[in-house]
Amino acid sequence: MSKILAGTGRGVYCLEHGESRQTLESRGVRDLFENGGRLFAGTGAGLFVSDDAGETWQEPVLSEYEIWQVRGHGDTLYATTQPAALFRSVDNGSNWTEMPSLAQASNDAGWCIPIDPPVPGRARALVVDTRDADHLWVGVEVGGVMESRDGGVTWTLVLPGDNPDLHMMYAHPEAPDTIYASTGYGRLDGVAEMVEGNAGVFRSDDGGSSWQYAWRGITPRYSRPMCIDSRAPYGLTVASAPTAFSSFKDDGGAAAMLFRSEDGGESWRSLCDNAHSPASANFHGLNVDPDSSGGVLVGTDTGEAWRVSNDAEWTQIASGLPVVLALIAVA
């Protein structure tokens, strides 16, 4: 069975044989990504790299940025950050070069998180076309979806359903022009009305040029964590909660849910068991479980990590951790 790594609010933990041990101390580990045998941890203190499955980590690069996602294939990788910026590597993460046009676009448009005082916008969602590493999409919170066909030199902007509050994006493994995006209620002038259509999952069938709402009838609507299985039937799993700030500390808990679609968002079913319908803890970490067909790995704001089967059976694999923001299974 694969070793599980958990990215938490205080670093990376290895979850193995019923025990947890910390292998990296850092704040805000929001992304764990593997490419070509190399593991990347995107943190609030830069980007860490491991060449031994997360047992040891090199000194961070891009340490003046919060790293929100690393994605790519072959030797070409991209890293997205807060403040919103994009970096590119052509040697599988050994060296990085900023593509300054994204940061310039963010500055020109005034993209931000509309709280008081406003926080600089974050480039948090990233999809790289499996057919062409120069073709990518970046989701900015709060800004929209930026598409580049020249490796991040120039961009076009689109808003799924006029929603600029992008959280996560994934392309269908066998249909790369089909892209899914999870969104919230954030707008540059405040918060949108909390009605159907203003937050949730959107789907594009034409490479991001146009989008349709794929979250009909689902509550809670505020969607954030997302993953898609590379194995048929390519289950799309999304976690949602009532608001951006839903927490186990709320009166009655976070009221979070976990949903699965196997038909591109046309229909959804709950992956929650009786104890998590809804869940008092909020879900932050979410990834595919390679050891279970249709299964996912789930991390909570109460410091728990779970395996959830395709049949909605929940098995706890860790507790007592800091808030779990990211999970990955490694060989």
> Which residue in 66, 25, 17, 58 sits closest to 40, CA to CA?
58
Cα–Cα dist 47/240, whole Å: 27
**Exposed/middle/buried for residue 147 (C-beta within 10 Å: 0-12, 13-18, 19+):** buried
The whole-number pLDDT of residue 17 equals 87
Partners of 203 in the beta sheet?
180, 212
**The sheet that has 144-148: what strands, in order across it?**
122-128, 136-141, 144-148, 156-158
- In the three-class reduction of DSSP (H, G, I as helix; E, B as strand; rest coil), residue 143 is classed as coil
Tell me what pLDDT residue 2 has: 86
CB atoms within 10 A of CB 37: 12
**Three-class DSSP category at 160:** helix
Q: Which residues contact 166 (CB under 8 A, 6 or more apart)?
A: 124, 125, 139, 140, 141, 142, 143, 144, 145, 160, 181, 182, 183
The runs of H, that is alpha helices, within 97-245 are 101-109
Cβ proximity of 326 and 299 under 8 Å: yes
Provide mean pLDDT across the span 22-47: 98
The DSSP code for 291 is: T
Number of domains in the chain: 1
Assess whether pLDDT exceeds 90 at residue 15.
Answer: yes
CA distance 107 to 114: 15
Q: What is the mean pLDDT of residues 88-98?
A: 98
Structure confidence at residue 102 (pLDDT) = 98
Please check whether residue 34 lies inside any domain of the structure.
yes
Report if residue 137 sits inside a domain: no
Contact, 41 vs 4, CB < 8 A? no
Model confidence over 102-126: pLDDT tens digits?
A: 999 999 999 999 998 999 999 999 9
Q: What is the average pLDDT across 84-95? A: 98
Cβ contacts of residue 117 below 8 Å, gap of 6+?
A: none
Whether residue 129 is predicted with pLDDT greater than 90 in this model: the reply is yes
Does residue 10 form part of some domain? yes
Contacts of 248 (CB under 8 A, 6+ apart): 254, 280, 281, 282, 300, 301, 302
Residue 25 lies in domain: 1-64+282-331
Q: For residue 328, is it within any domain?
A: yes
Confidence of residue 331 (pLDDT cuts 50, 70, 90): confident
Question: Number of C-alpha atoms within 13 angstroms, CB side, residue 125?
Answer: 27
**In the numeric block, which tokens belong to residue 134?**
């120069």
16 assigned to some structural domain: yes
Strands 156-158 and 144-148: antiparallel
Is 326 among the domain residues? yes
Contact 32, 5 (CB under 8 A): yes
Q: Is residue 49 situated within a structural domain?
A: yes
201 within domain boundaries: no
The answer, yes or no, to whether residue 1 has pLDDT greater than 90, is: no
Q: Tell me: pLDDT of 93 over 90.
A: yes
Q: Which pLDDT does position 140 carry in this prediction?
A: 98
Q: Is the dihedral of CA 56, 62, 67, 73 positive or negative?
A: negative
pLDDT in tens, 214-223: 999 999 999 9
Backbone angles phi, psi at 105, to 5 degrees: -60, -40
Residue 38: pLDDT band (50, 70, 90) is: very high
pLDDT tens digits for range 242-296:
999 999 999 999 999 999 999 999 999 999 999 999 999 999 999 999 999 999 9
H or E segment at 168? Answer: strand 166-172
Please provide the average confidence, as pLDDT, over all residues in the chain: 97
- Measured CA to CA, the distance from residue 71 to residue 170 in angstroms comes to 11
Residues 270 and 240: their CA atoms lie apart, in Å, by 11
Q: What is the mean pLDDT of residues 34-63?
A: 98
Question: Residue 210: is its pLDDT beyond 90?
Answer: yes
Model pLDDT for residues 288-311, shown as the tens digit of each residue: 999 999 999 999 999 999 999 999
